[in-house]
Amino acid sequence: MKQILIVGAGSVGGFFGGHLAKNNPDVSFLLRPKTLAAVQQNGLTIRSAGGTFTVRPPAASDARQLPKPDLIILGVKAYDLDEVMAQIEPVLTEKTVILTLQNGVDTEDRLIARLKRDCVVGGVAYIYSKIAEPGVIEHYKKGVVTIGELMGYESERLLRIRDLFTSAGLSCQLSKDVRRSKWEKMCWNCVFNPFTVLINDCVAKALDHPEMLRVIREIVGEVAAVSAAMKVQLPSDMPERVVKASQEIRDIHTSMYDDWKAGRPTEIGYLNGYIVEKGREFGIPTPVNEALTAMIKTMTEKEKTGSGVVKIDGAVLQPVSFDRTAIRRLPDEHHVADVSTVMPSMKGRAIRVKGLLDVPALGIDANHVTFHSFRLITPGLGDLCANVKAVGRIEVTSGPGRDTRQTTCPPASQ
């Protein structure tokens, strides 16, 4: 395995790839444009308590510009897998091996289903590191990988991968049951990744409350039930193992916490969300994981914008947004099933403005409303003001608002 391609230079790919590239000129990186620009200008820097170093490996945003890899190490998020596969498929050969270092338990199966061949080695990364800025990784704790063949045997390619890591000064352990290793980490991830987001604090805050221990047992019990249904049996004391393994990393946050704080997507759908999905498939109740999934999605997913969304802001206690589903759920009296009953020249359904404005708490002295619309359809009649389409924003103000209509439009009738 001469040519090695690291996909991603985040907290996992950046740390392990940086160490592999330190004394190996045959290690290259496939990077997003922003990270690529930073690495090309300043190199890839790894900062650790034990020292700091910078490497300047070959890198590109197009895998075809790099040497054809014998080994590909995936250091990207689980939700980026399909995009990444489309990028690396042009450089895959019959001999290319792919090592996975993603959270979750389905990456390997997704790869095999897509590639239709035995080219995947499973891996688990145990590390606490962060992206300080593009091209700069701060490493705080651990830095170990466990790898294994999915069928459990000790292959020649497995030993070669281990030797690559160990020769770079990295700890690499072999697992005879890497699927179980991944499920064991899944138990920890399903507990503390969402916990640290919900409590907005580190692992210790959750560990130090006795009430949380029962919740941890419930979460891990649901994960273990699903894993058993998928033919991976976990130890009966798995909840206790999760708590014990957390004692030496009490002060850390998690990758989900860091992603949330940085405004990046989270992997909740591939952790607790995956447990919920498989639980439904196998008829296994997963209420705690379902609650965690719902809460994390609610907290971390960005506010909807664009077509079909109306935002009310300005002189309101709290801005609110409505998508089509939210509008449909407004009380019946605010819906106009046939708008021609109000405006004979128009067709379709409508919603009364009052129904929208009843939702936010308006400012005490709010007395004007401005409609920010993509298009003004026609001058209004009487007290209807203007008839508008594709409203994107309703601005509540105190005192006269700004007239945003086209100056060529005739004024509304008084």
Integer CA distances (angstroms), 408 to 378, 379, 385, 400, 403, in order: 12, 11, 16, 21, 12
pLDDT (average), residues 263-281: 96
User: Which helix or strand (DSSP H or E) is residue 190 part of?
Assistant: helix 178-198
Percentage with pLDDT > 70 across the chain: 91
Q: Residue 378: its pLDDT value, please?
A: 42
Q: Residue 222: its pLDDT value, please?
A: 98
CATH 3.30.2320.50 fits 1-176, yes or no: no
Count of CB atoms within 10 A of residue 209's CB? 11
pLDDT (average), residues 106-123: 94
Per-residue pLDDT for 389 more than 70? no
- Beta-bridge partner residues of 133: 136
CA distance 234 to 57: 40
Of the pLDDT bands very low, low, confident and very high (cuts 50, 70, 90), residue 106 is very high
Asked whether this chain's domains 1-176 and 178-301 adopt the same fold, the reply is no
pLDDT (average), residues 53-65: 97
Q: Residue 328: its pLDDT value, please?
A: 85
Percentage with pLDDT > 90 across the chain: 69
Residue type, 63: A
pLDDT (average), residues 261-273: 95
User: 334 or 71: which carries more pLDDT confidence?
Assistant: 71
Which residues lie closer than 8 Å to 303 by C-beta, 6 or more apart?
321
Superfamily of domain 178-301: N-(1-d-carboxylethyl)-l-norvaline Dehydrogenase; domain 2 (1.10.1040.10)
Model confidence pLDDT, tens digit, residues 131-181: 999 999 999 999 999 999 999 999 999 999 999 999 999 999 999 999 999
Query: Average pLDDT over the chain, rounded to whole?
Result: 89
Strands, E assignment, 66-202 = 71-74, 97-100, 120-133, 136-148, 171-174
Q: Residue 330: its pLDDT value, please?
A: 87
Strands 310-314 and 136-148: unpaired
Q: Residue 347: its pLDDT value, please?
A: 79
Residue type, 322: F
What pTM was estimated for this model as a whole?
0.81
Of the pLDDT bands very low, low, confident and very high (cuts 50, 70, 90), residue 301 is confident
Place of tokens 């002189």: 315
| C-beta separation of 6 from 63 below 8 A | no
Domain ranges (residues) in the chain = 1-176, 178-301, 310-397
| C-beta separation of 287 from 370 below 8 A | no
User: 34 or 371: which carries more pLDDT confidence?
Assistant: 34
Nearest to 18 by CA among 221, 180, 168, 243: 168
